[in-house]
Amino acid sequence: MRLFLYGTLLRPELLARFAGRLPRLTPADLPGWRRVCLRGTRYPTLRRARASVRGATVDVGATALRRLDAYEGVRYRRVRLTVRGPRRPLPAQAWIAQATTPRPWP
């Protein structure tokens, strides 16, 4: 499964801890979205906007995906989207929560 990461999971030590190993990160952009704070937390989520979010894609197997789903929790759901990879657009999934704020995530 190809995932688009844009927040806390871009930290290598955190990603490795929950994925079971450190998968290769490939730079990618997500057009049509911006990174904002999840309401009532210090965590990021995405909100549709005339912007682009810089992040990375990773390919993970079923076991790592289950661990990462558990890390993201019930407020987030995986959404299918298309990211701009280094050479071409790529299908991916990203965890997005519905309770967004207009406040940018640092």
Tell me the pLDDT tens digit for each residue of 8-20.
999 999 999 999 9
Q: What local confidence, expressed as pLDDT, does residue 33 receive? A: 97
pTM above 0.85, yes or no: yes
Q: What local confidence, expressed as pLDDT, does residue 48 receive? A: 96
Q: What local confidence, expressed as pLDDT, does residue 101 receive? A: 87
Q: Residue 96: beta bridge partners?
A: 77
Residue with tokens 């490939």: 26
Residue 57 host element (H or E): strand 44-59
Report the C-alpha gap between 93 and 106 in whole angstroms: 22
2-104 domain in CATH 3.40.50.300?
no
Burial 41-66 (b: 16+ CB within 10 A, else e): eebbbbbeeeeebebbbbebeeebee
- Nearest partner of 71 among 18, 28, 12, 17, judged by Cα: 18
Report the C-alpha gap between 81 and 21 in whole angstroms: 25
Tell me the pLDDT tens digit for each residue of 49-87.
999 999 999 999 999 999 999 999 999 999 999 999 999
Q: Is the pLDDT of residue 100 over 90?
A: no
4 neighbors 94 (Cβ within 8 angstroms): yes
Domain ranges of the chain: 2-104
